[in-house]
Amino acid sequence: MKLLCKTTDLQQALHLVSRAISNQQALPILGNILLHAEGKRCTASATDLELSIVTSFPAEIENEGAITIPAKAFLNFAQYNTDHEVLLETSEGTQLKCTSKKAKTLISGEAASEYPTITPIEKETTFPIAAGPLLEALHTVTFAAAKTTLRPVLSGVYVRSEKGKLVFVATDSYRLSEYTITGAKAADISCIIPTKVFDELQSVLGSQKGDNEGQKSEEGPASAKASAGGQEGEDGEKKKKKTESSVDVTLSSQQIELQAGSTQLLSRLIDGKFPDYQQIIPKSPKTTVKISVKELLPAVRRMHYFAKEINNNLTFHIGKSDMRIITPSTQAGRDEAVLPIEMTGSENKIALSSSYLLDFLSRVPGEEIEMEITDSQHPALFRVAGMDALLHLIMPLRLQEE
């Protein structure tokens, strides 16, 4: 194998696929990255046998071939090589020579045949999802999934389709987030997808978004002028948006494949039945509060310092025109805030986790939220004002004596 490529392309590919490498590997070779040069592109891939990431980048390939290289050594070279281009060439079958203007590095690897095969999934259902709404769905949902695998079904994101909508749900049994994408072209699906897959997809889409924005800024005024100048510019912009704006999803009974640009993510699905969460969503709240995120978020951040001393407990006293939030008294002290609100219904009170509130409020895609409360025994339901796509639920804590 012998190829010439840009150092930045190599860096980006290695950083991306290395995210599939676990720190605890049953097989030492799973700490490697597989490099395969063919045609006009070089493919990099890695797997932990649960999640696989595959991406490719352009290269001038003189000799096709493949080799698997320890990820840490390869990343170390790519990260600290300051030259614009690098020549990659296999030597003696299992060594990779990395040569640039100021560097000459030799890394010992293994034969590509020793690396586990990453096989494409059997296609049963395939559909596209617009990248923008998908990113927002993942940003506002995945954080609510359980961080442990004690109950595997809660460690993933439940995705189902219904009447042209695609619904994403995650819960750790103490809080729940649901986001609905309308106009989705998905077939009849219902599955639980590991959170890690969506975390990595967010990284992929985020890096692609950054590349696209950087590309636009490099094009500068001339590009804007051409775009404003006529139909040709508009068509070009539309075509560009179209190629950048979707993720192709392929599902089988046990696996999922996500294709974003030149990058593929493949993973097993989580087996099991997701809880019937609809029954715990309050249907007839006694109190509805509208409050500014800019008012509430800094107050909760400030009060979390004291609340975390006693189970992150914050008590909300809801009046007709304001909401008083207090922390329990601790050795460190106590805190209180009074915030203006718009309230309909009756006065009420509830205790909620400051930590869970911060997780939600820091991801809210709007300036105002609606808080629906039944009583201190039932969960609080949060919505973004004027936005039907998102709902968030937080279970109540025990009210502290004041």
Q: What residues are paired with 258 via a beta bridge?
A: 249, 265
Task: Please check whether residues 143 and 170 belong to one and the same domain.
Answer: yes
Task: Please check whether residues 129 and 263 belong to one and the same domain.
Answer: yes
Containing domain of residue 323, as a range?
281-394
Task: Give the pLDDT of residue 400.
Answer: 79
Task: Give the pLDDT of residue 331.
Answer: 87
Q: What is the pLDDT of residues 191-202, one digit of tens each?
A: 999 999 999 999
SS3 at position 168? strand
Task: Please check whether residues 259 and 136 belong to one and the same domain.
Answer: yes
Work out the percent of the chain whose per-residue pLDDT is above 90. 78
Q: For 372, how many CA atoms within 13 A lie in the half-sphere containing its CB?
A: 13
Q: Kindly state the tokens that stand for 91.
A: 């030597």
Task: Please check whether residues 286 and 327 belong to one and the same domain.
Answer: yes
The Cβ of residue 241 has, within 10 Å, a number of other Cβ atoms equal to 12
- Nearest residue to 66 (alpha-carbon basis) of 48, 50, 45, 87: 45
Say if CB 83 and CB 54 are below 8 A apart: no
The Cβ of residue 228 has, within 10 Å, a number of other Cβ atoms equal to 9
Q: Kindly state the tokens that stand for 203.
A: 């990284």
Task: Give the pLDDT of residue 239.
Answer: 44
Rounded CA gap, 81 and 176, in Å?
45
Say if CB 205 and CB 247 are below 8 A apart: yes
Q: Mutual orientation of helices 7-17 and 71-80 as an angle, nearest 10°?
A: 150
Say if CB 323 and CB 357 are below 8 A apart: no
Say if CB 281 and CB 381 are below 8 A apart: yes
Domain count, the chain: 3
Single out the residue in 60, 91, 114 at which a domain terminates: 114
Q: Is the pTM of this model over 0.75?
A: yes
Rounded CA gap, 131 and 143, in Å?
19
Judge whether 22 lies within some domain: yes
Judge whether 380 lies within some domain: yes
Phi and psi (nearest 5°) for 170? -140, 145
Q: What is the pLDDT of residues 9-51, one digit of tens each?
A: 999 999 999 999 987 777 899 999 999 999 999 999 999 999 9
